[in-house]
């Protein structure tokens, strides 16, 4: 019999190295992974047998765990779909999942760098999400042997490896289709050959599997699990631990689910849903494909976990399964996407999930705040993607604002609006704490006006789309005129100042001089009612995009190389520096523009820096700053 040698893909070798050296706790999960693969293989056989009934000739699907203590082997045997020679090499020699290679690099780097070393728990959680799956067998085995025969073929193949960089493939014998994974258990892991240990592991991690799992040991055979898919059992017979295990299994998650939604819907269209809302964000939440990860079953037969029609993208953080009797088993995965029944199920699921969130938002502010921090940015995508659910989504949204540290809803904002306030004010940027210090907010704070701090890129998209809430338009505090005159400042002292500001001598000449000095570098220069403490700030003209949005669009390459949009420079007539400059311009007359030229550009650069923008000309900036400092010293 000829044997051929292969080397693992580089990522697999790295992964095996990490698996072998850093996961000394939780080794028992290897059995869960192998059982889960066996169960997946049976699911796939069932699905293929829908169109090729001859494949189902192998009899009832089941998983057997066979232990031979003398030989120190543990085998997981299934009669599922099996693998061809090519599939063995591909599936057990490379990492197919896209994110996994990146993860391996990250983990390898973290392990090399002791300071950044993650705790073991984190490693396990990550590995679960990325699906080290089969390779976890090498945590307990010196050698792993896989004999497999693809359903519909007579040829069987044997894959063997000690997990150290190479594997071999050779012809083999197998009576029927399916796969046998045999672990030659290493001496120090002998506990995994003990009946009691295996029984506990299966009960803990694999009880939800919808197939019988048999243990064959010392000539005895017994069934270890309930053998009915978890979602088919009555909710009151299911323990929280069982739900959690199932969630870990279907969701590739390792946290405790925040919410479990297990329902049976009877009617024109009947289905069961077992859905989970995670308590921690999955790693792929912001993957560009934005795919929902629900698994679809039809009459207990697994159909697909890649069904975009089942749940909208903005609910992609939800994990779990849907099983319906009323979808056709003969329909192809592609046609399924357009099935009107599926659309009905989808809208039922959306209602159910949003209803649950509403309940939580009203009854459990703290839990909901955590949910919001995890998934709010994703949920907000629904505001412009799903008009039919908008009315349910808006009340679910929460925001940080300058009034406090907590989260508020739009309703609460509108309720707290001040006399004379016409708009819902907001400011956008990357970081709430940086935003809180923006000079543009000074005038709002002085008037006791609240401003929403919007820090998710998605905010730039739904805001213009939603436009207003309860007839109050959204208004950016960094765009257009602030129009704050109508609203009195809350401190009497400030009111006095303000009256005086209007009369700052030379202020009009200063504005004119600044305009002349700056030329095309700004769109306009004007006095501001937005500022109380800072001398200047930049704002966008009414019809222009906000400064931060412009930056974001350029980063995302949605805006090309055209010239940067000129902004409006607002000056604070009450500020000592501005007053001094105004006095200077007034006294110098026609030469005013020249007298303040350096100051003009320094003020503009300062305003740009506050916006997180680079200064236009660093050399000129440094020269001017030096000159001014020289005079000041
Ligand atoms: N018992 C089996 N029968 C058929 N194919 C299998 C079996 N075990 C593994 N495979 C194949 O090997 C691949 C790799 O398995 P592995 O457990 O590493 O990843 P996965 O199952 O795809 O992902 P995860 O385990 O994270 O869900 C599987 O996708 C499957 O194609
Ligand atoms: Mg697997």
Is the confidence at residue 233, as pLDDT, over 60?
A: yes
CA of 297 to the centre of ligand 1 (A): 19
Residue 557: both structure tokens together: 């390459």
Mean pLDDT lowest for which of 110-124, 300-314, 358-372, 524-538? Answer: 110-124
**Cα–Cα distance between 379 and 373 in angstroms, integer?**
11
Atom of ligand 1 minimally distant from the CA of 181: 1
- pLDDT number for residue 535: 95
- pLDDT number for residue 358: 97
- pLDDT number for residue 116: 43
Identify which has the larger pLDDT, 308 or 452.
452
- Output the CA angle 550-437-566, nearest 5 degrees: 30
Which residue's alpha carbon is at the smallest distance from atom 31 of ligand 1?
91
- pLDDT number for residue 129: 54
- Output the CA angle 306-312-318, nearest 5 degrees: 75
How high is the mean pLDDT of the chain? 88
- pLDDT number for residue 499: 55
Nearest-10 crossing angle of helices 195-206, 240-251: 80
Atom of ligand 1 minimally distant from the CA of 76: 1
Residue of 134, 147, 150, 151 to test ligand 1 pocket, by largest number of atoms within 8 Å of CB? 134
**Cα–Cα distance between 146 and 76 in angstroms, integer?**
10
Compute the average pLDDT of residues 329-356.
88
- The 10s digit of each residue's pLDDT in 392-451 is 999 999 999 999 999 999 999 999 999 889 999 999 988 899 899 999 999 999 999 999
- pLDDT number for residue 303: 87
**Cα–Cα distance between 236 and 252 in angstroms, integer?**
24
Q: What is the DSSP string of 279-338?
A: SS--TTTT-TT-----EEEETTEEEES--TTSS-GGGTT-EEEEEESSS-TTS-HHHHTT
- The 10s digit of each residue's pLDDT in 156-188 is 999 999 999 999 999 999 999 999 999 999 999
Contacts 24+ apart (CB under 8 A), 152-159: 152/52, 152/54, 152/55, 152/177, 153/82, 153/84, 153/177, 155/84, 155/85, 157/83, 157/84, 157/85, 157/88, 159/88, 159/89, 159/92
Which residue's alpha carbon is at the smallest distance from atom 19 of ligand 1?
133
H or E element in which residue 171 lies: strand 166-172
Residue of 91, 98, 103 to test ligand 1 pocket, by largest number of atoms within 8 Å of CB? 91
Size of the chain in residues: 633
**Cα–Cα distance between 294 and 274 in angstroms, integer?**
10
Identify which has the larger pLDDT, 49 or 482.
49
What are the helix (H) ranges across 165-294?
195-206, 240-251
Mean pLDDT lowest for which of 44-58, 344-358, 459-473, 511-525? Answer: 44-58
CA of 134 to the centre of ligand 2 (A): 6
CA of 180 to the centre of ligand 1 (A): 13
- The 10s digit of each residue's pLDDT in 195-222 is 999 999 998 888 889 899 999 999 999 9
Q: Which residues make beta-bridge pairs with 448?
A: none
**225 contacts 206 by C-beta, under 8 angstroms:** yes
Compute the average pLDDT of residues 378-403.
95
Which residue's alpha carbon is at the smallest distance from atom 27 of ligand 1?
131
Positive or negative, the Cα torsion across 556, 558, 563, 567?
Answer: negative
Q: In this structure, what are the phi and psi dihedrals at residue 337, rounded to the nearest 5 degrees?
A: -55, -30
Q: Which ligand has an atom closest to residue 44 CA? A: 1
Which residue's alpha carbon is at the smallest distance from atom 28 of ligand 1?
91
Mean pLDDT lowest for which of 90-104, 284-298, 493-507, 585-599? Answer: 493-507
Burial of 60 (0-12, 13-18, 19+ CB in 10 A): exposed
Ligand 1 neighbours, Cβ below 6 Å, are 33, 36-38, 40-41, 78, 80-83, 91-92, 131, 133-134, 179, 252
Which residue's alpha carbon is at the smallest distance from atom 17 of ligand 1?
133
CA of 204 to the centre of ligand 2 (A): 17
**125 contacts 278 by C-beta, under 8 angstroms:** no
Mean pLDDT lowest for which of 123-137, 329-343, 473-487, 605-619? Answer: 123-137
Is the confidence at residue 351, as pLDDT, over 90?
A: yes
**Cα–Cα distance between 358 and 396 in angstroms, integer?**
6
Is the confidence at residue 39, as pLDDT, over 90?
A: yes
Mean pLDDT lowest for which of 11-20, 335-344, 426-435, 484-493? Answer: 484-493
pLDDT above 70 covers a percentage of the chain that reads 90
Compute the average pLDDT of residues 2-13.
90
């Amino acid at each position: 019999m000829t044997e051929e040698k292969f080397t693992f893909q580089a990522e697999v070798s790295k992964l095996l190295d990490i698996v072998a050296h850093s996961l000394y706790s939780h080794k028992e999960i290897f059995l869960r992974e192998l059982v889960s693969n066996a169960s997946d293989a049976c699911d796939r056989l069932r699905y293929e047998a829908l169109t090729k009934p001859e494949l189902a000739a192998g009899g009832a699907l089941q998983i057997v765990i066979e232990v031979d203590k003398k030989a120190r082997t543990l085998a997981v045997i299934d009669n599922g779909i099996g693998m061809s020679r090519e599939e063995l090499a591909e599936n057990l020699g490379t990492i197919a999942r896209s994110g996994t290679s990146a993860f391996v690099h990250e983990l390898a780097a973290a392990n090399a760098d002791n300071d950044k070393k993650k705790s073991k728990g984190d490693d396990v959680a990550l590995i679960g999400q990325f699906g080290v799956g089969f390779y976890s067998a090498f945590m307990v085995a010196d050698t792993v042997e896989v004999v497999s025969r693809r359903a519909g073929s007579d040829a069987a193949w044997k894959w063997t490896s000690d997990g150290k960089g190479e594997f071999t493939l050779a012809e083999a014998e197998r009576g029927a289709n399916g796969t046998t994974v045999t672990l030659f258990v290493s001496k120090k892991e002998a506990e995994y050959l003990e009946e009691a240990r295996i029984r506990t592991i299966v009960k803990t991690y694999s009880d939800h599997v919808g197939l019988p799992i048999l243990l064959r040991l010392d000539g005895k055979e017994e069934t270890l699990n309930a053998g009915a898919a978890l979602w088919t059992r009555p909710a009151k017979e299911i323990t929280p631990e069982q739900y959690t295990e199932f969630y870990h299994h279907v969701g590739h998650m390792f946290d405790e689910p925040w919410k479990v939604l297990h329902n049976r819907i009877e009617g024109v269209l009947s289905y069961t849903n077992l859905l989970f809302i995670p308590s921690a964000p999955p790693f792929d939440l912001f993957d560009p494909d934005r795919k929902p990860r629900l698994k679809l079953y039809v009459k207990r037969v697994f159909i697909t976990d890649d069904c975009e029609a089942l749940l909208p993208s903005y609910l992609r953080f939800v994990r779990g399964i849907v099983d319906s009797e009323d979808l056709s088993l003969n329909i192809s995965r592609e046609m399924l996407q357009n099935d009107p029944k599926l659309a009905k199920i989808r809208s039922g699921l959306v209602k159910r999930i949003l209803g649950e969130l509403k309940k939580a938002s009203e009854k459990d502010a703290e839990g909901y705040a955590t949910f919001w921090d995890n998934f709010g940015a994703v949920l907000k995508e629904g505001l412009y993607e799903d008009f039919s659910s908008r009315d349910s989504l808006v009340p679910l949204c929460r925001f940080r604002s300058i009034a406090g540290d907590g989260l508020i809803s739009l309703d609460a904002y509108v309720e707290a609006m001040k006399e004379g306030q016409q708009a819902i004010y907001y400011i956008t940027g990357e970081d709430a704490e940086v935003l809180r210090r923006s000079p543009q907010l000074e005038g709002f704070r002085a008037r006791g006006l609240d401003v929403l701090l919007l820090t998710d890129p998605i905010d730039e998209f739904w805001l213009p789309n939603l436009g207003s809430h309860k007839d109050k338009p959204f208004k950016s505090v960094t765009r257009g005129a602030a129009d704050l005159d109508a609203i009195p400042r809350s401190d009497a002292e400030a009111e006095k100042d303000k009256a005086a500001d209007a009369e700052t001598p030379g202020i009009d000449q200063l504005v004119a001089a600044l305009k002349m000095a700056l030329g095309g570098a700004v769109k306009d220069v004007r006095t501001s009612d937005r500022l109380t403490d800072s001398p200047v700030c930049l704002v966008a003209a009414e019809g222009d995009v906000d400064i931060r949005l412009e930056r974001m669009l350029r980063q995302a390459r949605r805006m090309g190389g055209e010239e940067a949009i000129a902004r409006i420079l607002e000056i604070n007539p009450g500020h000592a520096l501005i007053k001094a400059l105004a006095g200077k311009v007034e006294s110098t007359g026609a030469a005013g523009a020249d007298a303040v030229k350096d100051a003009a550009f320094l003020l503009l650069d300062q305003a740009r820096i506050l916006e997180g923008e680079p200064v236009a000309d660093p050399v000129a900036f440094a020269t001017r700053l030096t000159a001014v400092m020289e005079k000041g010293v």
